[in-house]
Amino acid sequence: MEWLYALERDLHPHCLMSSLLKTEQQLPDIDGRLASGIAMFRPYFAERLGTSHKQAGTLLMQLVIASDKVHGFLTAMSKQRKEKGMSEKIRNHYRKTLVLLESLLEDCGRIDHEILSRIPLTAYSIPGIRMALRKRLVALQHWIRAAEIEPELYTLLVDGLHMLVSRNGINRSDVAYALAVMDALDEVATLGTSAVEDLLYQLDFNIPAFFHHWTKRCNHLLSNEPNLHRQMEILIGIEDRFNGLTPKEKMKCLADDLSICTQLKEFLKEKKRHVSQRIKIRRMEFRDGKLAESGGRLLLNLSVAQFGLLIRLFIEKGLLVKEDIGATFAHFAAYFRTPKTPAISSESLQKKSTDVEFSSAKKMKGLLIGMVNWLNEHYSTSNHNDS
């Protein structure tokens, strides 16, 4: 690739002007070296392509860098006072060189279009391509502005295409995608919000604004529906809509980001999981409420912590056997409730029986003393001497 470095050096305005003042033969010599380099580049590129796609891509990137350097030389000279003679001859030579390098890139694209499509466009080719795309976009705007499309969707579509056309490092893949979107919109007989949404989904218009458009729409539909089962039906309906849309292109708007299909499927999956959890909790609340209302669980005027401590006292003092303690707590949790807890967790009950706070122990002591006093009062046990 030495010929490219030599080309950049030989075509530098100061170097070239100095050489031309000495001899008119300088330009033909540069042309000869350029033609020789181009002739060697094609087979060398094909050889590198067979070895490594990364190396082949690097070669094309070097061509773009060289072209941009020459374009910079041309731009710098064009800003200077225009004059006939030597300067005009140099500018023409720059233009000729840029055309040859552009043609070489296109030839390499015929060998492997995929690699060339990911390489940035040259500074020489970008202005013409951007002008054509912007002209096409202006015409499209006039048409879709008159269509019955939600303002938010219209804005994100136009802004997304503007972003794509104006992005730094725009490549052939970006250009092809922008044209594919505009062509597809042109082919739609009647534009409406649903039609545009479906089309952009099929074209993988994976910009953040389009994802947020769908999530906002989904959340709005769910917020207007209090019934959880209906919410699940809404999510399944949206999922079915997406499943019925066949992708139109293999390209994505943002090549390095997840496809809009993947993003929205993950969003819907998470939403369905959330609604399912809420339905499960509602069922548990309903079941526990019914159980409490039906008297299926006896009400104890104790907190869960105090109840757990009471059971622990029964166990420690031998009133309950120390066998399968977990089953013992599970039994009490299944058949008893407290004023604030209609459905007691057996695991929580067992844990609170050992992790005892001082206030719970003090309260339990008072209750036990009260029981002893009651026995003393009703059965005269206070003067009885236990033997």
- Candidates 140, 6, 139; CA nearest to 69 is 6
Q: Name the helix (H) or strand (E) containing 104.
A: helix 86-111
- Read off the pLDDT of residues 8-66 as tens digits, 9 standing for 90 and up: 888 888 777 776 666 665 667 777 888 888 889 988 888 888 888 888 999 999 999 99
**pLDDT over 60 (residue 214):** yes
pLDDT of the residue at 370: 92
Residue 246: CB partners within 8 Å, gap ≥ 6? 202
Residue 154 tokens read as: 């219209």
Mean pLDDT of the chain: 87
Residue 192: strand, helix, or coil: strand
Q: Comparing 120-124, 150-154, 278-282, 347-351, which segment has the lowest mean pLDDT?
A: 278-282
Residue 382: strand, helix, or coil: coil
Confidence of residue 144 (pLDDT cuts 50, 70, 90): confident
Model confidence, pTM: 0.69
- Report the distance separating Cα 297 and Cα 342, nearest Å: 8
Residues forming a β-bridge with 148? 192
CA atoms within 13 A on the CB side of 105: 29
pLDDT of the residue at 120: 95
CA atoms within 13 A on the CB side of 12: 9
**pLDDT over 80 (residue 236):** yes
pLDDT of the residue at 149: 87
CA separation, residue 34 to residues 41, 64, 72 (Å): 10, 15, 18
Q: Comparing 2-6, 126-130, 181-185, which segment has the lowest mean pLDDT?
A: 2-6
Q: Are 339 and 299 in contact (CB under 8 A)?
A: yes
User: What average pLDDT does range 81-87 have in this prediction?
Assistant: 58
**pLDDT over 80 (residue 4):** yes
pLDDT of the residue at 23: 60
**pLDDT over 60 (residue 307):** yes
- Amino acid at position 378, single letter: H
Q: Are 6 and 33 in contact (CB under 8 A)?
A: yes
DSSP state of 225: -
- Read off the pLDDT of residues 342-352 as tens digits, 9 standing for 90 and up: 778 888 899 99
Of the chain, the end-to-end C-alpha distance in Å amounts to 110
- Candidates 299, 288, 316, 304; CA nearest to 350 is 304
- Report the distance separating Cα 229 and Cα 179, nearest Å: 42
pLDDT of the residue at 26: 61
- Report the distance separating Cα 288 and Cα 55, nearest Å: 67
- Report the distance separating Cα 263 and Cα 275, nearest Å: 19
Higher pLDDT among residues 384 and 111, named by residue: 111
Residue 183 tokens read as: 């062509």
Tokens 């070669």 belong to residue: 59
User: What average pLDDT does range 165-192 have in this prediction?
Assistant: 90
Q: What is the dihedral of CA 289, 292, 295, 297, to 10 degrees?
A: 140
- Read off the pLDDT of residues 349-369 as tens digits, 9 standing for 90 and up: 999 999 999 999 999 999 999
- Read off the pLDDT of residues 85-137 as tens digits, 9 standing for 90 and up: 567 788 888 899 999 999 999 999 999 988 999 999 999 999 999 999 999 99
Residue 39: CB partners within 8 Å, gap ≥ 6? none
User: What average pLDDT does range 72-92 have in this prediction?
Assistant: 74
**pLDDT over 70 (residue 146):** yes
DSSP state of 298: E
Higher pLDDT among residues 84 and 279, named by residue: 279
- Candidates 276, 268, 260; CA nearest to 218 is 268
Residue 107 tokens read as: 């030839």
Confidence of residue 5 (pLDDT cuts 50, 70, 90): confident
**pLDDT over 70 (residue 158):** yes
Question: Which residues of 141-229 form beta strands (DSSP E)?
Answer: none
